[in-house]
Amino acid sequence: MTNSLWYKNAIFYELHIRSFADSNGDGKGDLLGIIPKLDYLKDLGVDCIWLLPMFGSPLKDDGYDISDYFNIHSDYGTVEDFQLLVKESHARGLRIITDLVLNHTSDQHPWFIESRKSKDNPYRDYYVWSDNNKKYEGVRIIFVDTEPSNWTYDETSGQYYWHRFYASQPDLNYDNPEVADKMLEVIRFWLDMGIDGFRADAVPYLFEREGTSCENLPETHDYLKRVRAMMNEHYPDAILLGEANMWPHELRPYFSGDPNNPAVPGDEFHLAFHFPVMPRIFKGLKLGRANDIINIMNDTPAIPYNCQWCVFLRNHDELTLEMVTEDDRQLMWQLYAPDPAMKLNLGIRRRLTPLLENDRRKIELANAILFSLPGAPIIYYGDEIGMGDNIALFDRNGVRTPMQWTGERGAGFSTADPSQFWAPLIDDAVYGYQHINVASQQHEANSLFNLMKHMVAVRKSLFVLGWGDCTFLQLDNETILAYHRHHESEHCFIICNLSDQSQTITLPLSEFAGRTPHDLLHDKSLAPVTTSEYTLTLAPYQYHWLAFK
């Protein structure tokens, strides 16, 4: 598969292996379970699968705590199973990327087991140690609900070690050239298996420097550029998708290139998640106001032509509210986390459909925005059928429950007794697998699944949505989110009513006088444009993707 800019107009699908499909009846999803589901993903229109961490791990952070970078977790299968999955994916034209956890290991990793033995252990310097817990003072804590400090005291060796996440995830010391080299070996090991790249976890935190926030440091960018240069040389089609939960101006350097000239190629990440726009979509939908979305997108700098944003509505974590103001965080909790159990750290641990009150109009609209904003969209497994969540489960497990394939006992996820499933199926009156499942939605013409499939197909047919510029329209109606995607002679107008009232608006379309706007998603023509004002009425939560005939 060659086309080194394939990711510009790609659809990504985030998949939790443990919850997707179980091939051996032990109640846990695995790699071989995914293979018979590849045709389903292909049918949905997915281009690239992102697998959550699958490596050796004590699972204190669901696999983001790695104890063996060169092996597959025994619950998930073997390296041979993985190679087969890659082969079968590629045979269907699907790409596949895995998580790459650079910042930290598990405390059960042999390096850390050695490192904590004594101050003079040869692996001591693989991690960040200090005699006191005052170093790097003021650096924010990410897991605020559980971690009182970024330092944890180690009784055995009498020093503190640094960790940005759980205490069971000590940060690696990238000032040690051996660490930096070893992680390049990890990268090459998996790329040699033919994978199409990585979703690089927690990248802002690789280096620490006194007097800074220890985030986004120049040294971190230098290391990431080194990774990219190696990939460019040996694996030119493979991508790096960066996870940096930052403001747009802090994200921009992760693409590198020339900030003033998008024609200069970037040489760091191919893609980066656009974190800040996500909560603003939810806020906009709740308040019926477009301004926050418009403002953050207008504050988003241009990126090199060979780079792309990655946009998402939900993922395997809490809906993060790190990139909003304190007032907005409180407001979002008020609006979307009425039960305190829904809150986690600085976010909300709920799935898309319950967040949007199972209102089909809002779910469609949110996706219509997701699939038309600048960036490659990611679908979080289960959201294509409107799966629910379970806030009674530990940590973020409530948004990671088993995939609902059928309405039969076990939901087609596993043949094990459901009481043995790693997490219970969603089984309530609204979101239970008996009502919400792939099999029934595949057969129902108006199902959410079929709508998503259609939206994906239309999106992929529109080069302008992957490559085009985006100009937000200034309308005198704050409930309407309207943007113009354009690339050379290709134009697409996205018009969304974020409110629960119908709205009549006037669009500035005079340059298209004599032409007929065509609603691409609903395959309907609207009244032709004339030289006078173009008036359009939208029902509550109605949206159009308009092109011209």
Applying CB under 6 A, which residues contact ligand NOJ?
61, 64, 101, 165, 201-202, 243, 316-317
- Of the candidates 7, 465, 466, 467, the one whose C-alpha atom is nearest the C-alpha of residue 236 is 7
**Min dist. Cβ of residue 322 to ligand NOJ (A):** 11
Q: How far is the CB of 400 from ligand NOJ (least distance, A)?
A: 10
- 450, two tokens: 């079929």
Q: How far is the CB of 97 from ligand NOJ (least distance, A)?
A: 14
**Amino acid identity, residue 345?**
N
CB 308, min distance to ligand NOJ, A: 19
Contact indicator for 34, 70 with CB cutoff of 8 Å: no
Name which of 61 and 107 has its Cβ closer to ligand NOJ. 61
Nearer to ligand NOJ, 142 or 538 (CB): 142
Give residues with Cβ within 8 angstroms of 215, minimum separation 6: 139, 204, 205, 246, 250
Catalytic residue among 201, 215, 383, 395: 201
Question: Would you say 208 or 317 has its CB closer to ligand NOJ?
Answer: 317
Residue with tokens 């280096």: 207
Q: What DSSP assignment string belongs to 106-151? A: -TTSHHHHHHTT-TT-TTGGGB-EESSS-TTTTPPPSSTTT-S-SE
Sequential DSSP letters for 221-252: HHHHHHHHHHHHHH-TT-EEEE-----HHHHG
Asked about 201 being catalytic, the answer comes back as: yes
- How far lies 445's CA from each of 229, 451, 455, 493, in Å? 47, 8, 14, 26
Least separation, in Å, of the C-beta of 274 and ligand NOJ? 15
166 or 543: CB nearest ligand NOJ: 166
SS3 13: strand
- Nearest residue by C-beta to ligand NOJ? 64
Which of 14, 30, 154, 243 does the annotation list as catalytic? Answer: 243
Decide if 43 is catalytic. Answer: no
- Per the listing, tokens 């039960």 go with 339
Closest CA to 29 of 9, 15, 14, 43: 15
Closer CB to ligand NOJ, residue 123 or residue 143? Answer: 143
Q: Which is nearer to ligand NOJ, 202 or 480 (CB)?
A: 202
Distance of closest approach, residue 46 Cβ to ligand NOJ, in angstroms:
20
Which SS3 state, helix, strand or coil, does residue 386 take? coil
User: Smallest distance, Å, CB 14 to ligand NOJ?
Assistant: 10
Alpha carbon 305 to its chain centroid, in Å, reads 21
Q: Is 3 left (phi over 0), alpha (psi -120 to 50) or beta?
A: left
Contact between 423 and 402 (Cβ < 8 Å): yes
Closest to 29 measured CA to CA, from 401, 432, 388: 401
> Is the CB of 143 or the CB of 541 nearer to ligand NOJ?
143
Longest CA–CA span in the chain (Å) reads 80
Active site residues: 201, 243
